[in-house]
Amino acid sequence: MVARERLAGNVPGVGYARVETGAGTISRVRVEGEERAGEPILSPGLVDIQLNGFAGIDFSGPKLEPGDAVSVLPHLWRTGVTSFCPTLITNTRPALLRNFRVLDEARRTDQRFARSVPCYHLEGPYLSPEGSRGVHDPSLMRPPDWEEFQELQQAAGGRIGIVTLAPEWPGALEFIARACRAGVVVALGHTDALPHQIHAAVDAGARLATHLGNGCPQLIDRHQNPLWAQLTRDELSASMICDTYHLPAELVKTIFRMKGPGRSILITDAMYVTGMPPGRYPVIGTEIELLPEGKVIKADGACLGGSALSMDCAVARFMRLSGATLQDALHAATTAPAALLGRPGVCARIAEGEPANLLRSRPGTDSLAVEQTWLEGEEAYCAGR
Q: Has residue 2 got a pLDDT over 50?
A: no
**Arithmetic mean of pLDDT, 161-180:** 98
- Give the rounded distance of the alpha carbon of 232 from its chain centre: 22
Q: Has residue 167 got a pLDDT over 50?
A: yes
The pLDDT tens digits for 18-70 are: 999 999 999 999 999 999 999 999 999 999 999 999 999 999 999 999 999 99
Least confident residue range of 50-59, 199-208, 213-222: 213-222
Closest residue by Cα to residue 307 from 14, 87, 47, 17: 87
Q: Has residue 1 got a pLDDT over 50?
A: no
Spatial neighbors of 27 by CB under 8 A, at least 6 apart, are 4, 20, 21, 352
Q: Has residue 278 got a pLDDT over 70?
A: yes
The DSSP line for 356-369 is --EEEEE--SSS-E
**pLDDT value for 288:** 97
Q: Has residue 3 got a pLDDT over 90?
A: no
The pLDDT tens digits for 89-139 are: 999 999 999 999 999 999 999 999 999 999 999 999 999 999 999 999 999
Least confident residue range of 13-27, 179-193, 213-227: 213-227
Q: What percentage of residues in the chain have a pLDDT greater than 70?
A: 99
**Arithmetic mean of pLDDT, 281-300:** 95
For CA atoms 106, 110, 111, 112, the dihedral sign is negative
**pLDDT value for 149:** 98
**Average pLDDT in the chain:** 96
Helices of type H across 144-205: 146-155, 172-181, 195-204
pLDDT greater at residue 358 or residue 261: 358
Residue 265 in contact with residue 85, Cβ under 8 Å? no
Angstrom distance (rounded) from CA 195 to CA 200? 9
**pLDDT value for 6:** 87
**pLDDT value for 4:** 66
Q: Has residue 384 got a pLDDT over 90?
A: no
The pLDDT tens digits for 313-356 are: 999 999 999 999 999 999 999 999 999 999 999 999 999 999 99
* Phi, then psi, of 326 in degrees rounded to 5: -60, -40
**Arithmetic mean of pLDDT, 206-232:** 94
Q: Which domains does the chain have, with CATH numbers?
A: 45-344 (3.20.20.140)
SS3 content of the chain, % helix, strand, coil (to 5): 30, 25, 45
pTM: 0.97
